Amino acid sequence: MEGGGLRLFFALPLPAELREALDRWQRAQPGTRGWSRPEGLHLTLAFLGERPVEALPTLLGLAAAVADRHGTFGLRAAGLGGFPKLDPVRVLWLGLDPCPALETLAADLRGALTAAGEAFDLKPFHPHLTLARFRRARAMTAFAPPPPAAFTADRLVLFESRPGGGYTPLGTWNLRRV
């Protein structure tokens, strides 16, 4: 980004098999505009927004410590949802079954950011995978449910959001094998 700033977020990446399955599902749905790129699908834990390059060492160290305190865990898809919550929706997402390990990881990461004085979006954590952002709201009934999906969360990643929608990993930390 110009001026040395980076648009950053912490997330859990999805395994290739799940991204490919969601890509097939997306291509079978009505309309082609607004769908998230399969290679960019992820589970955001904390959105930091614009941060100076100088913040990277602190963020990288903080993430390493957080990842070291958490083990891998399983996640399961729980059906479609959207924002706003009432139909029609502008953002279509895939929800996840409740998972205490995920909630604990997100809370630990957000707590570490707060303790370090690092700014992030303070909206409550609502675990989901954003599948589409539509310019015009769409009815939820227009979409078939995606296939059942389960996956293992095994890595924490600091991503930079690039102009044009791509994401670049700036740091990756394995969660402990349990």
Question: pTM of the entire structure?
Answer: 0.92
Give the orientation angle of helix 56-68 with respect to helix 100-115, to 10 degrees.
Answer: 140
Superfamily of domain 2-174: Cyclic phosphodiesterase (3.90.1140.10)
Which amino acid appears at position 137 of this protein?
A
| Helical ranges in 5-69 per DSSP H | 16-27, 56-68
Spatial distance between the Cα atoms of 168 and 3, rounded to a whole number of angstroms: 18
Structure confidence at residue 164 (pLDDT): 76
What does the block give as tokens for 95? 């929800």
Structure confidence at residue 178 (pLDDT): 65
Burial category of 101 from C-beta neighbours within 10 Å (exposed 0-12, middle 13-18, buried 19 and up): middle
- Is residue 9 within 8 Å of 47, Cβ to Cβ? yes
Nearest alpha-carbon partner for 161 in 148, 153, 174, 170: 170
Structure confidence at residue 87 (pLDDT): 85
Structure confidence at residue 2 (pLDDT): 46
Extended beta strands in the chain, E state? 5-13, 42-52, 73-83, 89-96, 128-138, 150-153, 155-161, 167-174
Residues 6 or more apart whose Cβ sits within 8 Å of residue 38? 19, 20, 22, 23, 26
- Is residue 53 within 8 Å of 81, Cβ to Cβ? no
Domain ranges of the chain: 2-174
C-alpha distances in angstroms, 13 versus 31, 43, 177? 26, 6, 16
The C-alpha angle with vertex 46 and arms to 116 and 52, in degrees rounded to 5, equals: 60
Residues involved in catalysis = 42, 128
Q: Give me the residues of the chain with pLDDT under 50, please.
A: 1-2
Structure confidence at residue 1 (pLDDT): 41
Which run of H or E residues covers position 101?
A: helix 100-115
